[in-house]
Amino acid sequence: MVERESPLGAAFRPGRHGNLSAGPGLRISEVTPSGIAEAAAWPGMKAALAEVISSVTALSLSAEPNTGDVGPESSAFSIGPQRFLVTGGADLPARLAAALPLEIGTVTDLSHGRTAIRIEGARAGWVLSKLFAIDFHAEAFPLTEGRATVHHDIFAQIQRISPNGFDIYVFRSFARAFWLELCEAAEEVGYEVAG
């Protein structure tokens, strides 16, 4: 198999950056999983799709809007009506496609088309609110839930993975531009790029 190269290129600079007077307030890293898939259900079949995803990934999902789950090896979250973004090992898209009956829905392998960027730290939601017009407060955006939104022309799917951590999925072709914007937004609180 061909090894994927990071789309961040020279923009990926490990180390500490920005206002470090109180130490780095955030940690930013590229965490692209080896398998990323979009699973979409036919009308009225979202609950059945959630069951299939749960059986393949061992995650606990429901058909409710914005539901999600994060496990040690995989995650899944609702990205819109009848749709989930699911991550895991390299064989995840194939396993999902094999387990999903055609009368329930479809699976699209997005592994080579998306990049995941993780931002963690007490000010992560505050920094992200500089870029996205959504509420990152824990009551409005609970743990494991997801949101689909945009920053200028960059489409993003975001999942809260911990009380102070988010994974942001963007198209690979926009990953470098988004990375640079995120780093600029984080300069005020200082950040560490994990290498």
Name which residue leads in pLDDT, 152 or 53: 53
The percent of residues in the chain predicted with pLDDT above 90, rounded, is 81
Model confidence over 78-136: pLDDT tens digits? 998 899 999 999 999 999 999 999 999 999 999 999 999 999 999 999 999 999 999 99
Domain final position from 109, 136, 169: 109
pLDDT higher than threshold 70 for residue 2: no
Q: Check whether residue 173 and residue 126 sit in a common domain.
A: yes
Q: Are 58 and 123 in contact (CB under 8 A)?
A: no
- Which helix H or strand E contains 9, and what residues bound it? none
Class of residue 95 by CB neighbours under 10 A (exposed 0-12, middle 13-18, buried 19+)? middle
Specify if 5 maps to a domain. Answer: no
- pLDDT, residue 152, reads 83
- pLDDT, residue 141, reads 95
Model confidence over 124-171: pLDDT tens digits? 999 999 999 999 999 999 999 999 999 888 899 999 999 999 999 999
Domain final position from 54, 85, 109: 109
Specify if 90 maps to a domain. Answer: yes
Mean pLDDT of the chain: 93
- pLDDT, residue 80, reads 87
Specify if 139 maps to a domain. Answer: yes
Which structural domain range is residue 69 located in? Answer: 35-109
Domain final position from 109, 136, 162: 109
Q: Check whether residue 127 and residue 142 sit in a common domain.
A: yes
CATH number at residue 167: 3.30.1360.120
Q: Check whether residue 91 and residue 128 sit in a common domain.
A: no
- Give the start-end residues of each E strand in the chain: 15-17, 26-30, 35-41, 68-70, 75-80, 83-88, 105-109, 114-120, 146-151, 154-162, 165-171, 191-193
Q: Check whether residue 123 and residue 86 sit in a common domain.
A: no
Q: Check whether residue 117 and residue 104 sit in a common domain.
A: no
pTM over 0.85: yes
Domain count, the chain: 2
